[in-house]
Chains A and B, each alone.
Chain A
Amino acid sequence: MNAIIVSAVFGVLMMFASFLVNNKNVYRYLAIIGLSVLLLANILETYAIWSIKFDSFLQLSFERFGLFFNSIAIAATLFYVLLSGKDIVRVGNYSAEYFVLIFFILCGVSLITSYNSLLMLFLGIEIISIPLYILTGSDKKNLKSNEAALKYFLMGAFSTGLMLMGIALSYGAVGNFGLEGRGVVAFGGSMRVSFLEVAGLLLLFISMSFKASAAPFHFWTPDVYEGAPSVFTSFMATIVKATVFIGMIKLLEARTGIFGPTWQIILPLMIVLTLAIGNITAVFQQSVKRMLAYSSIAQAGFMLFALWSANDMGREGILLYSVAYTLATVGIFAVLVKMKDYTFDGFNGLAAKQPLVAASVAVFVLSLAGIPLTAGFFAKYFMLASAIKSGAGVWLLVVAVVFAAVSVYYYFRLIQAMYFKEGEAEMFEQPTNSFKGMLAIFAVLLIVLGIAPSLLFNYLYF
């Protein structure tokens, strides 16, 4: 429970800092210190050295998998603040508040990774969603940001309504909010799963797919990701999205087989649809930011494989995928924020002016595309291999590989623009040495994980 409590406490501390301290740099340092302490607290709990305990009456259960994902999410946020902290502070007049909201989101993240009751899942999803609506609209002078926030809020509120209805139906069938419970009714001498529960879980699944922007519930994604301030887009497209997948995995694992044979039709259909819509639409984008929005839909398609396989390999895979995808996307967005022009042409000739930045971005892009020797390759490999293990049809894998090949096209356009085109590639400010250093660390991490992915899993088991 360390992560939940410590993140909430630091959120409140930042709230007080917002009116006690009047220096934007102090907020950033406070956030970095807070995230480090949070990471430490979570690691202490992972190794059962020290933890705060409250009796939650089995509504929360802290297992290695969830705690490890907490560490990943917190560390990723720490890297994110180290890299883009200056841009977060600059979005508007409420610099400290943005960090408050990020801490609260981390509180929601650690709830979702440890829930054992649907009530807690709901609280976690809400604690994540409400700060996100606000962060989306935080660029108050920008009409696009306002529109994105309103759209996100209305759609998100609707999906929350569906989720509540699902939880209510499931409650009606099972009689409690427990994750493990299962509603069964006598039916012609044998027992079968209650229809109420099937419908309830289906609604719950729909609502969570909305939050994870899996097709056909993805319609909000491009507009919101494009309208939101770029620093916050990178946060919600990575850490938050990965968390929702962890929540979905926990839910579906606890109630495997609830959908019966139709599951074999629904999920592959969703995977193919998500991959197709994300990848094909991304090809036609001229803005890098919008391309990344569509590519995040495409990446969600790959993450859905972990739901399909529902085995240990899938669990490992989703962790690796979260790390690879988060590092790469956060890195690209950190560079994107500094660009004057968000189109592909805006990146023309970046390699000549900023060789280190361009090289790092190239590594990020290669990792997103899943080229061998980067973490993205093994992430995709683990997803597909785990699906085979669970008996996925070959056609599904062929589709996934074909769409991965399509994605190479639009990712390489960025490399092409940086390396093979003449241009100015104007930036708002020259990247500092520490910024370049952080980017390089990100790139090196991706390559190290691409060579030896088991480094990550070692921490999961030992």
Chain B
Amino acid sequence: MLWTNFLMNVSTASNTAVDYFPIGIQLIFAVGFVATMIGVSALIGPKRQTSDKLQSFESGIESVGNARQPMAIKYFLVAILFVLFDVEVIFFYPYAINFRDLGWNGFFAVLMFVSLFLAGFIYIIKKGALKWED
């Protein structure tokens, strides 16, 4: 099977893995373009490696200290809360698709889930976990 045929099949098939073929091509092009550009510029660009140039750039000021410093836990707290709510949102997709078919039962199931999450959210806000200055 020619790959051009493969491409033409897309329109007829519905919801199979083949649908992802265009996405795959796009992905290949995106990655390929970036890789090529970086590679080519590294190949044909001028290279003059002096000790000044190899230093990490800090707006012309001499670099101080080490970049590998432990950072504040606050970032992590925000990130982990983000993941929790991210997962919550994921559960909405299958509900949204079946919104009509599920009727009231599905609605109440989602409502309960969301209200529990809302309770958690209120708790987080009230506890000041998202407050940056302390």
Contacts and interface: CB of A to CB of B under 8 A. Distances in A.
Contacts of B120: 15
Contacts of A19: 123, 126-127
Contacts of A15: 119-120, 123
A84 interface: no
Interface string A5-23: 0000000100110110000
A335 B127 CA distance: 33
Interface residues of B, number: 7
Contacts of B122: 16
B116 interface: yes
A16 B120 CA distance: 9
Interface in B112-134: 116, 119-120, 122-123, 126-127
Contacts of B119: 12, 15-16
Nearest to B115: A12
Interface string A144-169: 00000000000000000000000000
Contacts of B127: 18-19
Nearest to A15: B123
Contacts of A16: 119, 122-123
B20 to A, nearest CB: 25
A348 B127 CA distance: 44
B116 A12 contact: yes
A144 to B, nearest CB: 20
DSSP class of B's interface residues: helix, strand, loop or mixed?
A: helix
Nearest to B116: A12
B74 to A, nearest CB: 15
Interface in A294-347: none
Nearest to B128: A19
Nearest to B109: A54
Most chain A beta-carbon contacts within 10 A, residue among B120, B122, B123: B123
A146 to B, nearest CB: 13
A19 B121 CA distance: 13
A18 B126 CA distance: 9
Interface string B83-127: 000000000000000000000000000000000100110110011
A306 B57 CA distance: 67
Nearest to B122: A16
Interface string A226-265: 0000000000000000000000000000000000000000
A398 B20 CA distance: 66
A17 to B, nearest CB: 10
A93 to B, nearest CB: 11
A15 B116 CA distance: 11
Contacts of B116: 12
Contacts of B123: 15-16, 18-19
B129 to A, nearest CB: 11
Contacts of A18: 123, 127
A16 B119 CA distance: 8
Nearest to A94: B127
B45 to A, nearest CB: 45
Interface string A381-402: 0000000000000000000000
A15 B123 CA distance: 7
A390 to B, nearest CB: 44
B119 to A, nearest CB: 5
Nearest to B127: A19
Interface in A16-53: 16, 18-19
A7 B95 CA distance: 27
A269 to B, nearest CB: 41
A195 to B, nearest CB: 30
Nearest to B105: A55
A53 to B, nearest CB: 15
A19 B123 CA distance: 8
B55 to A, nearest CB: 37
Nearest to B123: A15
Nearest to B125: A19
A51 B123 CA distance: 29
A15 B127 CA distance: 10
Nearest to A19: B126
13 contacts: A12-B116, A12-B119, A15-B119, A15-B120, A15-B123, A16-B119, A16-B122, A16-B123, A18-B123, A18-B127, A19-B123, A19-B126, A19-B127
Given A15-B123, A16-B119, A18-B127, 6 more contacts: A12-B116, A15-B119, A15-B120, A16-B123, A19-B123, A19-B126
Which 7 A-B pairs give the minimum distances between C-beta atoms? A19-B126, A15-B123, A12-B119, A19-B127, A15-B119, A12-B116, A19-B123
